[in-house]
Amino acid sequence: MITNADFLALEGNPGNFTAKLNIRPRYIDADLCTACGLCTQYCPKHHVDPYNEGLSITRPIHIDYAQAVPATYYIDPSSCMYIQHETCQICVPVCQSHAIDFSQKPETRELTIGAVILSPGFGKIAPETLEKYNYGKHPDVVTAFEFERMTNASGPFLGEIKCFSDGRHPKSIAFIQCVGSRDLGCDNGYCSSVCCMYAIKEALVTKEHDPEVDITIYYMDIRTQGKDFDAARERAEAIGVKFIRAKVADVTPWENHLKLTYSTFDGQHKFDSHDMVVLSVGLESPKDAKGIAKATDIELNKYDFCQTETFSPLQTSQEGIIVAGAFQGPKDIPESGTQSSGAATLASIILKNQRGKGTESKEYPEEITVSDDEDVRIGVFVCHCGINVSSVVDCPEVAKDAGKMDNVTYYTESLYACSQDAQEQIKQTIKDQKLNRVVIAACSPRTHEPLFQETLKDAGLNRNLFEMVNIRDHCSWVHANEPEAATDKSKDLVRMGVSKAARIQPLPEQTVPVIPKALILGGGIAGMTVALSLADQGFESVLVEKSSSIGGNLQNLKNTLAGETVASFLKNLTMKVTKSPKIDVVTDAALTQSSGFIGNFNSIIESGKEKKKEQSVDHGVIVIATGGHEHRPDLYQLGKSKKVVTQKELETKLAGRAKNRAPNSIVMIQCAGSRGEDLNYCSKVCCNHAMKNILKIKEINPESQIIVLYRDIRTYGFAEDAYLDARKKGVVFIPYEVDRKPVVSTQGTKVQVDFFDSIMQEDVSMTPDLVTLSVGLVPDGTEELSKMLKLPVTSNGFFLEAHVKLRPVEAAVDGIYLCGLAHAPKPIEETIVQAQAAAAKAAIPLVKGFVTVDPIVSSVEQDDCIGCGLCTSLCPYGAIIMEKVGKKRKAKTISASCKACGICASHCPTFAISMGGFTNEQLISQIEAFGNKTVEEKVEA
């Protein structure tokens, strides 16, 4: 990982590029810095903190935020007194680990690489665009990014929301949407896709802080098209957040408030006052987009984002150069995460011949056997962490106290236990003192346990014979003004740690082999993309398709919104899939049975139309790409009148040759059956589908009069251009309210549409030649599959991912991955990316060839198990199964799937389940050490 660096130039070809970088000096030796933060405390110079949007002050020597990677401080040369004026240097003697190095110079480095992934993120909307809302002039007009830092509990105001003008808590806050997006005034015609959702989130967070605060969101369309995002909007409405469909023209100071002038859709001009105005600013193309384009020769689109095609969404115009994240187009966290995994797949394909080359495996000494009857010999190491611990906690006292505890045969202190020399000392001490348990009282096991466990392994001890006590993050740092109490707490925590350590046992390292084959369910665009992505990396798969041919929904589509032809792409893709020797396509097939766990699944597939045959497949991973289909609601005369069709049917019609295929008068109804009717969600694709058909109609018959009745037009991202195009071509868009939906009726062969025109404020009745319904998408057969594979589904029947933001393509059960419509409704482009992402995740165990099991997983003592099955029913990961042992049912842990949560152990009525590293005995002894009762006291109790 190279940080603090600029990308200068790229030469060469895919598979053999040379990238030139400029690495800026950090002025801190990353190997020596322990991120203790002392330097920042002593640095006398102020530095406006860009991480907090300039709302707070830090020091030139700092780290952006606590979780920054690498956890190494750096000096911003723009305000450092030594770099600017050759004075100060206070930090140099302050740093106990001598990490500060002002002799560092900028370095130019050349890297030989095979592929390039561009993920520079997004840029900021220019301040000039915000000026018309009085931003920069009135202190109570803030951007949503600033507001986000303000509401953040770890932000500059610890989550307290205040007006900058006079420090009062705002009682009324306005959010103005589409600032710098959908705004031709600043040449940003596109929709930034994320602002509606973040405004709702910020509104919800603000309401949590102060339920009384009045919040109004001024919007054009609420674009909560993401999975379950509409539910967040409903939640916001339910707790009183107001949504006003209006364009804000002006924000002016008015006494100590701000007056908003806005016009609503029915042509009225209104005023309202608020204490604070939050501008929902859009995502701009990255600042150096042009520079990147110049260095790599890639094409940009007209908004300076990376140009890509619908069928190859992560591929730039240059082979071997891949794009991911907001540079490809504005997007939110799950989409960005998905794209990054997808990009990894594309890069892995390019680099597959290099896989595994250049790696070195570390050798460890043979493990010393620690048996039960051996005396427990605990070594306690108390770390000062420079002065981070020792300035508050009396470390010598803590160490001395530890020395008096049972089983402690050695104790010492260390300036930095994590430093290289201290590690060597610990290793030597383990050997010299014949220690068989090690307790380190220092910082957090969450950051440092792996490092110390490595030290144990180097010394020949099992890495689990280790316990860490947190006397920094949980003690000296949070009780800085109470040294005595902090010392007492440290002693107690060490005693509890020592007591647990006396009862810990060596745990075996387990690995489980992986069968290098994937089972892919669904032969649509998602499943085919996964199969090809894996085949291109050298892995076999079985592609199970329920119908008689692969291709899925794509077979019904003619062209994309961008104008690409679907048929030729599909033909090419299916040909590649069917010809690939790595892909076994089984059609007319269904999964009837599946068992096993990551690396070792066995599935039964039934195939054939009349003569059914069964085949058994052993495979290491499962990818679910079972897709979905168009929902046909029993609404608006669909299926009753020939003049009422769906967008899909209209697309087919438009691609035909019939003379009247684009009639003179068409009414389209959006959200037909969606968002609260049959379906409780937004299907994400329908608005774009409508635009695609509208533009096609206008191409065939420019005279056609089209009226679109909608709730929110959700042409997010660059599809907004199509929406604008449609309006320019004279298409009329009229919003309708949920309680005043349009009514479609038939009179003979005629079809009549009655609706309330919210713009003209009058009832309208018309008899168009055609009514087109934008109906939603529903998943196929997720219910049965969810039962078979024990996977959770959402209330809308889509598979639930392991984490909606951070693990968007993994299922809760290890070794199972999701993509396409089975996960959520999404357009072709996003389906392809998600499939590539699922392939990336599925390839991880396939490439490794084994799954490593953390030794702290659960284990069942089958002699004690009464076979009640409580654990199996409670395990959230499907990691405990019931098996027959003789005539009895017994529980068994699938180690490879276990996440060590311990729910099974805490519920087992016979205490038959034990958690490695967190046994009942260990935890009870920790609790007893907490009580610290002497034997006599216990008797009394």
Partner 1 sequence: MSDKSFSPKILGFLCNWCCYAAADAAGVSRFQYPPNLRTVRVMCTGRVDPSFILKGFLEGADAIFTGG
Cβ nearer to partner 1, comparing 66 with 184: 66
Sign of CA dihedral 188, 191, 196, 201: negative
**Contact region with partner 1 (CB under 8 A), list: 126-134, 442-450, 684-692, 694-702:** 442-450
DSSP codes, 80-118: -HHHHHS---THHHH-TT--B-TT---EEEEEEES-EEE
| Residue 924 lies near partner 1 (rule: CB under 8 A) | yes
Distance between alpha carbon 649 and the CA centroid of its chain, in Å?
Answer: 36
Q: How many residues bind partner 1 (CB under 8 A)?
A: 44
H or E segment at 672?
A: strand 665-672
CA distance 751 to 644: 8
Judged by CB under 8 A, which of 481, 548, 616, 747 binds partner 1?
Answer: 481
902 belongs to the binding site for partner 1 (CB under 8 A) = yes
Long-range contacts formed by 296-300: CB under 8 A, 24+ apart: 296/10, 296/116, 296/118, 296/321, 298/118, 298/323
Verify binding: residue 640, partner 1, rule CB under 8 A. Answer: no
Between CA 879 and CA 342 the distance in angstroms is 28
Region of 13-21, 344-352, 622-630, 916-924 interacting with partner 1 (CB under 8 A): 916-924
Which two structure tokens, joined as six digits, stand for 745? 């009726």
Choice from 344, 395, 399, 486 touching partner 1 (CB under 8 A): 486
Question: Which residue's entry shows tokens 């647990």?
Answer: 500
Binding-site member from 406, 482, 634, 737 for partner 1 (CB under 8 A): 482
CA contacts within 13 A on the Cβ side of 620: 23
**Minimum CB–partner distance for residue 376 and partner 1 (Å):** 20
Between residue 714 and residue 773, which ones bind partner 1 under the rule CB under 8 A? Answer: none
* Listed ranges 80-88, 505-513, 740-748, 929-937: which one lies at the site for partner 1 (CB under 8 A): 929-937
- Smallest separation, CB 472 to partner 1 (Å): 7
115-143 burial: b if 16+ Cβ within 10 Å, else e: bbbbbbebbbbeeebbeebbbeebebbbb
Given candidates 53, 488, 630, 801, which one binds partner 1 under the rule CB under 8 A? 488
Q: Which position has the token pair 């438009």?
A: 654
Options 161-169, 457-465, 887-895, 912-920: segment touching partner 1 (CB under 8 A):
912-920
Provide, rounded to whole angstroms, the least separation between the CB of residue 380 and partner 1: 17
The one segment of 239-247, 297-305, 473-481, 755-763 that binds partner 1 by CB under 8 A: 473-481
| Residue 805 binds partner 1 (CB under 8 A) | no
Instruction: Report the residue number, 465 or 532, with the smaller CB distance to partner 1.
Output: 465
Cα 198 to chain centroid distance, Å, stands at: 15
**Binding partner 1 by CB under 8 A: which of 274, 331, 472, 619?**
472
835 binds partner 1 (CB under 8 A): no
Tell whether omega for the bond before 70 is within 30 degrees of 0, i.e. cis: yes
Segment 146-205, which members bind partner 1 (CB under 8 A)? 154
Cβ count near 5 (within 10 Å): 14
Q: Which is nearer to partner 1, 307 or 906 (CB)?
A: 906
Question: Considering only residues 183, 210, 367, 492, which one is a binding residue for partner 1 as defined by CB under 8 A?
Answer: 492
- With binding defined as CB under 8 A, does residue 802 bind partner 1? no
Q: Is 480 in the site for partner 1 (CB under 8 A)?
A: yes
Nearest CB to partner 1, comparing residues 473 and 757? 473
Query: Which residue among 489, 503, 692, 698 contacts partner 1 (CB under 8 A)?
Result: 489
298 is a contact residue toward partner 1 (CB under 8 A): no
Least separation in angstroms between CB 78 and partner 1: 25
Q: Of residues 29-68, which lie at the interface with partner 1 (CB under 8 A)?
A: 66
Q: Are 741 and 635 in contact (CB under 8 A)?
A: no
CB 722, CB 561: distance < 8 Å = yes
903 binding partner 1? (CB under 8 A) = yes
Would you say 259 or 899 has its CB closer to partner 1?
Answer: 899
Contact 520, 528 (CB under 8 A): no
3-state helix vs strand vs coil in the chain, percent to 5: 30, 30, 40
CB of residue 444 to partner 1, shortest distance in Å: 5
479 part of the interface to partner 1, by CB under 8 A:
yes
Angle in degrees, 0-180, between the axes of helices 483-501 and 920-931, rounded to the nearest 10: 150
Tokens of 25: 């000096």
Q: Which residues contact 534 (CB under 8 A, 6 or more apart)?
A: 518, 540, 541, 582, 839, 842, 843, 846
Q: DSSP H helical segments within 820-915, as ranges?
A: 828-848, 870-874, 903-907
477 binds partner 1 (CB under 8 A): yes
* Region binding partner 1 by CB under 8 A among candidate stretches 134-142, 445-453, 517-525, 834-842: 445-453
Distance of alpha carbon 169 from its chain centroid, rounded?
Answer: 33
Give the residue with the Cβ less far from partner 1, 479 or 653.
Answer: 479
Please say whether the dihedral angle defined by the alpha carbons of residues 826, 827, 832 and 833, taken in this order, is positive or negative.
negative
Question: Under the criterion CB under 8 A, does residue 473 sit at the interface with partner 1?
Answer: yes
Query: Scanning residues 837 to 856, which ones bind partner 1 (CB under 8 A)?
Result: 856
Query: Can you tell me which of 84, 87, 444, 549 binds partner 1, judged by CB under 8 A?
Result: 444
Residue 555 in contact with partner 1, rule: CB under 8 A: no
Residue whose CB is less far from partner 1, 292 or 438: 438
Give burial (CB, 10 Å; 0-12/13-18/19+) of 23: middle
* Residue with the two structure tokens 């020597």: 61
Of 138-146, 484-492, 602-610, 690-698, the segment contacting partner 1 by CB under 8 A is 484-492
What does the radius of gyration of the chain's CA atoms come to, in whole angstroms? 32
Question: Is there binding between residue 930 and partner 1 (CB under 8 A)?
Answer: yes
Question: 287 or 899: whose CB is closer to partner 1?
Answer: 899
Stretch touching partner 1 by CB under 8 A, among 96-104, 275-283, 290-298, 438-446:
438-446
Stretch that binds partner 1, among 78-86, 530-538, 551-559, 923-931 (CB under 8 A): 923-931
Q: Which uninterrupted H or E stretch holds 467?
A: strand 466-470
Cβ of residue 154: shortest distance to partner 1, in angstroms? 5
**Least separation in angstroms between CB 74 and partner 1:** 17
Q: Using DSSP bridges, classify how beta strands 408-414 and 644-646 pair: parallel, antiparallel or unpaired.
A: unpaired
Q: Which of 470, 637, 693, 893 binds partner 1 (CB under 8 A)?
A: 470
Closest separation between CB of residue 415 and partner 1, Å?
A: 19
d(Cα 865, Cα 790) in Å, to the nearest integer?
23
What 3 state SS string does 911-927 have? CCEEECCCCHHHHHHHH
Q: Where are the beta strands (DSSP E) in 25-164?
A: 47-48, 57-58, 61-62, 74-75, 107-113, 116-118, 141-143
- Minimum Å gap between C-beta 160 and partner 1 is 14
920 binds partner 1 (CB under 8 A): yes
Q: Determine if 447 is a binding residue for partner 1 (CB under 8 A).
A: yes
Q: What tokens does 165 get?
A: 């003008």
**Closest separation in Å from C-beta 66 to partner 1:** 4
For 545, phi then psi, to 5°, come to -120, 130
Q: Which of 316, 905, 912, 914 binds partner 1 (CB under 8 A)?
A: 905
> Binding marks (x or -) toward partner 1, 854..873, rule CB under 8 A?
--x-----------------
Which stretches of the chain bind partner 1, using CB under 8 A? 66, 154, 444-447, 470, 472-475, 477-482, 485-486, 488-489, 492-493, 496, 856, 899-903, 905-906, 915, 918, 920, 923-924, 926-928, 930-931, 933, 941
